[in-house]
Structure 1
Amino acid sequence: MNTVIPVIDTLAEGHPVRVYFEEAKLIEGLLKELHTVNPSEDFQKYYNIFNQLATIEKRFARKENQLFPYLEKYEWYGPTKQMWSFHDTLRDQIRLLNTHNEAHNISKIKEDLPYLSDGIKRLLEIEKMRLFPNAIDLLSEADWKEFYEGDEEIGWMLPNKPMPYPAIVKRAYEHPSQATNAPDLSFSLDNTFHYDEGYMTPEQVNLLLRVLPFDVTYVDENDKVIFYNRGDNRVFPRSKGIIGREVKFCHPPKSVDTVLKILEEFKAGRQDVADFWFDMKGQIIYIRYFAIRDNNKAYKGVLEVSQDITNIKKLEGQKRLLDWA
């Protein structure tokens, strides 16, 4: 039976699989603690352990956005289609337990906690025996070296950030307009592009997209993700692993049919907008899909916009004055 354990010690510090294994040991320890604590006798201790375990969402998101795209590159689609569904089942169980936690419903906590615990144990076993051994066989060293930036963007369960793999040297961005012979103008057109209305440099466009109060993702006419903006408070996690990935693999399996239907209608020209809204972790999330077409109405892709509208929904009356202290 295949297993990743024998090769763990041969992997360098910070290697993504080594980090996953370190997280697995942390998760196993948390599960043991949950098994020994009695919520009815020490609810706060149970609650603290549960909340630490719930950060397993970071592990799920890294696998879905980072590891799975590389496995797809080598035509192994099983994890995307099957393990993602497993993740979603565990997410549902965590959400259910959170409702019990908020209500201090001890009997329901004791009834449902074993399902989550057993599910996580099963997932860790599948990772150890199949997912990571196959990943090590399939991915090249160059592939693994591309993980760190995206992994860091999503985060880890570990108390301390893992060492970079390999060491990352960040170079300061040098804008062409900083050249000594740049014209001394209040508004320079150096390195700018002309848009429908006005001019901006690539740097300015990037800054503008980064500060948008919502997430945007651009899928081209070939159904490949070619862009997403990197805001500080994203609704859904994204990392550079999705760039070039087929959009149907960027959504949970239960949502794929809906995504494909939207693409079909947009490409056929029958629809131009699709929108959804729902509650998630106490937030009201609004998602909209827009067909992108050129001046000749030819289909050029889809723009996905996701936004937390919780506070917007609360607005009433008017505010016409600045109320800064």
Structure 2
Amino acid sequence: VPPGHPVDTFRREIWALRSVLLQMRQLYQRFDHLDDGEDASALVLEWRGLLNQLMDIEKHFQRKEHLFFSRLEQHGITGPSKVMWGKDDEIRALLRDLAQALQQPGLTAGEWKALVHTVGETVVKAVEEMMYKEEQILLPLCMSTLTEEDWAEIWQSSPLYGWCLVEPQEGYRPPEAVLREGLQLAGPDAIRLSTGVLTLEQLAAIFSTLPFDLTFVDADDRVVFFSEGRQRIFARSRAVLGRKVQHCHPPKSVEVVDRILQDFRSGRHDVAEFWINFRGRFVHIRYFAVHDRDGRYLGTLEVTQDVTQIRQLEGERRLLQYDDAPTEVQ
């Protein structure tokens, strides 16, 4: 595998994560050498730093779940996504628990040691087991199954999710012939709608300018379109296109996804709404059933919007006032 190939980068991330885990184990041994009444603050600070590095595993998981799993599913292989994604979520929960525990004030060295031998060791073991499964099972499976086109798609989409602890090396680049094209719609002519006419260029620009993210799932539950705004809330890559929407969510969410789709398809409901706190932002997520003029179900539209600033609005603004800085006109 050449340097910079997705497998090479993924493998180097595994090695980097193992190095962090080794440092954690060594730190745990130093905790054991403390008397229960000693000051453990310096070791706790070091532990927080190592955990911060380990939390970078989220980027590693995101690429695996949305790129590697997606391409395997195109070849009819769904086992890894069903099993590993659930385990990834368990690790995420453990990391959150440890991060919360490390913020506790006033603990004695004895109490910190107890934390080491419970949550601390559980986290290290869970991540070690996942790294083993990725290296011994997932990567060999991908290498024996995926095509050059699949690797080109993974390579091209990977920067959307970022890198874990290490950067890709220089070397691999897919042949230009297999790099996929961007958004393509049939025909160069203008698109005529009941309320007007748009060129393809205009339509694409409108989708990119909308202050919310769109994703459309067709009547067969496959993702067939998503908008590419300037600041998407949840990352999307072209690898998701054609993928069953159930496979784009963690296993614990699939039941809810299926219920929404069944209710929309049957006509029982037309709208489902959620709102969550996400990375300091208040995000409104809405799902709409899409039907043709005869009432036939065509699919489901997801609309995701950051409404943090909208929730803070008060009173009225009736006079023109720009909130963004002016752009210099040449």
Is TM (by shorter chain) over 0.5? Answer: yes
Corresponding residue for 2:315? 317
Corresponding residue for 1:264? 262
Amino acid at match of 2:217: V
Q: Please state whether the residue corresponding to 1:147 is helix, strand or coil.
A: helix
- When structure 1 is superposed on structure 2, of 47-56 and 33-42 the one drifting more is 33-42
Query: 1:311–1:50: structure 2 CA closer, same or farther, 3 Å change rule?
Result: farther
Listed as ranges, the matches of 1:54-69 within 5 Å are 54-69=55-70
- Tell me how many residue pairs correspond in the alignment: 300
Unmatched 5+ residue regions in structure 2?
A: 32-39, 183-187, 326-330
Corresponding residue for 2:287? 289
Alignment partners' CA distance in 2, 1:231 and 1:35: 43
The yes-or-no answer on 1:15 pairing with 2:22 is no
Unmatched 5+ residue regions in structure 1?
A: 1-10, 174-189
Q: Please state whether the residue corresponding to 1:112 is helix, strand or coil.
A: helix
Corresponding residue for 1:177? none
Query: 1:235–1:28: structure 2 CA closer, same or farther, 3 Å change rule?
Result: same
Corresponding residue for 2:95? 94
Q: Identity of aligned pairs, percent?
A: 35
Task: Using the TM superposition, give the Cα deviation of residue 49 of structure 1 relative to its aligned residue in structure 2, in angstroms.
Answer: 2.8
Task: Using the TM superposition, give the Cα deviation of residue 269 of structure 1 relative to its aligned residue in structure 2, in angstroms.
Answer: 1.4
The yes-or-no answer on 1:31 pairing with 2:17 is no
Query: 1:56–1:138: structure 2 CA closer, same or farther, 3 Å change rule?
Result: same
Task: Using the TM superposition, give the Cα deviation of residue 113 of structure 1 relative to its aligned residue in structure 2, in angstroms.
Answer: 2.6
Query: 1:207–1:163: structure 2 CA closer, same or farther, 3 Å change rule?
Result: farther
Amino acid at match of 2:164: M
Corresponding residue for 2:203? 205
Whether the 8 Å CA contact 1:216–1:228 is kept in 2: the answer is: yes
Task: Using the TM superposition, give the Cα deviation of residue 103 of structure 1 relative to its aligned residue in structure 2, in angstroms.
Answer: 4.7
Query: 1:62–1:291: structure 2 CA closer, same or farther, 3 Å change rule?
Result: same
- When structure 1 is superposed on structure 2, of 289-298 and 48-57 the one drifting more is 48-57
Deviations 1:103-147 (A, max 9, x none): 557648644232222111010011112111112112223322221
Deviations 1:253-276 (A, max 9, x none): 111111111111111112111111
Q: Please state whether the residue corresponding to 1:300 is helix, strand or coil.
A: strand
Q: Please state whether the residue corresponding to 1:315 is helix, strand or coil.
A: coil
Alignment partners' CA distance in 2, 1:260 and 1:222: 12
Deviations 1:70-118 (A, max 9, x none): 2112222111111111111111122223333455576486442322221
- When structure 1 is superposed on structure 2, of 220-229 and 100-109 the one drifting more is 100-109
The yes-or-no answer on 1:112 pairing with 2:113 is no
Q: Please state whether the residue corresponding to 2:153 is helix, strand or coil.
A: coil
Alignment partners' CA distance in 1, 2:260 and 2:161: 28
Listed as ranges, the matches of 1:39-78 within 5 Å are 40-78=41-79
Query: 1:191–1:46: structure 2 CA closer, same or farther, 3 Å change rule?
Result: farther
Corresponding residue for 1:83? 84
Q: Please state whether the residue corresponding to 2:272 is helix, strand or coil.
A: strand
Whether the 8 Å CA contact 1:61–1:237 is kept in 2: the answer is: no
- When structure 1 is superposed on structure 2, of 288-297 and 163-172 the one drifting more is 163-172
Q: How much is the aligned-residue C-alpha RMSD, in angstroms?
A: 2.8
The yes-or-no answer on 1:127 pairing with 2:111 is no
Amino acid at match of 1:120: V
Query: 1:249–1:168: structure 2 CA closer, same or farther, 3 Å change rule?
Result: same
Listed as ranges, the matches of 1:234-273 within 5 Å are 234-273=232-271
Q: Please state whether the residue corresponding to 1:92 is helix, strand or coil.
A: helix
- When structure 1 is superposed on structure 2, of 245-254 and 103-112 the one drifting more is 103-112
Listed as ranges, the matches of 1:138-157 within 5 Å are 138-157=145-164
Task: Using the TM superposition, give the Cα deviation of residue 323 of structure 1 relative to its aligned residue in structure 2, in angstroms.
Answer: 6.1
Alignment partners' CA distance in 1, 2:224 and 2:318: 39
Alignment partners' CA distance in 1, 2:24 and 2:10: 21
Alignment partners' CA distance in 2, 1:161 and 1:134: 21
Whether the 8 Å CA contact 2:272–2:286 is kept in 1: the answer is: yes
Corresponding residue for 1:181? none
Relative to the length of structure 2, the TM-score reads: 0.81
Amino acid at match of 2:241: I
Task: Using the TM superposition, give the Cα deviation of residue 35 of structure 1 relative to its aligned residue in structure 2, in angstroms.
Answer: 3.0
Alignment partners' CA distance in 2, 1:257 and 1:59: 25
Deviations 1:219-264 (A, max 9, x none): 0111111011223432222211110011111111111111111111
Task: Using the TM superposition, give the Cα deviation of residue 172 of structure 1 relative to its aligned residue in structure 2, in angstroms.
Answer: 12
Alignment partners' CA distance in 1, 2:44 and 2:143: 41
- When structure 1 is superposed on structure 2, of 302-311 and 156-165 the one drifting more is 156-165
Query: 1:68–1:241: structure 2 CA closer, same or farther, 3 Å change rule?
Result: same
Task: Using the TM superposition, give the Cα deviation of residue 312 of structure 1 relative to its aligned residue in structure 2, in angstroms.
Answer: 2.8
Amino acid at match of 1:298: R
Alignment partners' CA distance in 2, 1:56 and 1:158: 8
> Which runs of at least 4 in structure 1 moved beyond 4 Å after TM superposition?
101-106, 167-173
Whether the 8 Å CA contact 1:148–1:165 is kept in 2: the answer is: no
